[in-house]
Amino acid sequence: MTAEDLAQTWLVRSPPVAAAQAARRPIVALESTLIAHGMPYPENVGTARAVQALIRSMGVEPATIAVIGGRIRIGLSDDELELLGRSGQAQKVSRRDLPAVLAGGELGATTVAGTMICAALAGIEVFVTGGIGGVHRGAQETFDISADLQELAKTSVAVVCAGAKSILDIALTLEYLETQGVPVLSCEQDNFAAFYARDSGFRADHRLDDPAQQARFIRTKWDLGLAGGVVLSAPVPQAAAMAREEIDAVTLQALAEARRKGVTGKAVTPFLLDRIKLLTGGRSLAANVALVKHNAEVGARLALALAQAGRGAGAASP
């Protein structure tokens, strides 16, 4: 039995996902950290259900990914979404955490890196998230760099996002991605997005608005044997966007609070997102919901275009 065959024993596909793969219909992976750690209840579960419904309405099957009962679940039921949203016990699962959470039978919510790994194992090529992780501010001293970036360098999944979270050092994040050979695409604007804010002030490598163009780019990369992900950045809708100057000021205040309280490691991002929500009177949460839904539309269109383009030699396979 090959290593890939052994890995498949850890996967449990939901009936809708299994049926979609059998029929070769497009699928979009969704993370579960947003549900367990990114939003408060009940907005987290409500947003997850709305995003799934939106993707299905476009003829694509959503596959929310989590670790439940010692197995990687590819596609979740309403009850499982509720469990993740309400339990408060889900572990954040990135690459290093996946073996421990699976072996221990714990409840786990997958990060960007964790979801990419599981999506690739399940043969899913497109993953929609809110914002990718990256190089944290002050990383020159703390070395706090998200595992998402290294995963993008090695795992062949297209990641649709609203850029990098605005709590990060976006300039250094883009430098890191360049060094690792990860292409950064944008749609709807030339510049890379900044999560709550539409414009980070930094240009993406290429602007490709047409899903067919995006699919051709991604297929070409993988068909050349160039392993690794592709970032596709889409800006938060204008009606929900926040000014970059306001977000920067609030982020600096939240970072100062995190330092005073000794918040470190995996706890930093959830702490900052929660503090920013409070400091903005909930407007950041509204922006988060809007950008995730918009990313879902962009991701569904990309999944449809990739399916029409056909599966290339370099793509993930179930």
Residue 315 in any domain: the answer is: no
Q: What is the pLDDT of residue 204?
A: 98
234/199 Cα distance (integer angstroms): 10
| Gap between the Cα atoms of 269 and 41, Å rounded | 17
Q: Is residue 116 part of a domain?
A: yes
The confidence score (pLDDT) of residue 3 equals 64
Residue 313 lies in a domain: no
C-alpha to C-alpha distance for 300 and 295, rounded to whole angstroms: 8
* pLDDT < 70 positions in the chain: 1, 3, 6, 311-318
Number of domains within the chain: 1
**Is 318 contained in some domain?**
no
CATH number at residue 240: 3.40.1790.10
Residue 39 counted as domain residue: yes
- Which amino acid, residue 128? V
Query: For residue 71, what are the domain limits?
Result: 3-307
Whole-Å CA distances, 89 to 86, 109, 184, 213, 318: 9, 10, 34, 42, 30
Stated pTM of the model: 0.92
Instruction: Tell me if 227 is assigned to some domain.
Output: yes
3-state secondary structure labels for all residues of 78-121: HHHHHHHHHHCCCEEECHHHHHHHHHHCCCEEECHHHHHHHHHH
Assess if residue 316 is contained within a domain: no
3-state SS of 124-158 is: CCEEECCCECCEECCHHHHCCECHHHHHHHHCCCE
The DSSP symbol for 193 reads P
The encoded tokens of residue 71 equal 């197995």
Residue 68 domain flag? yes
Return the active site residues. 31, 165
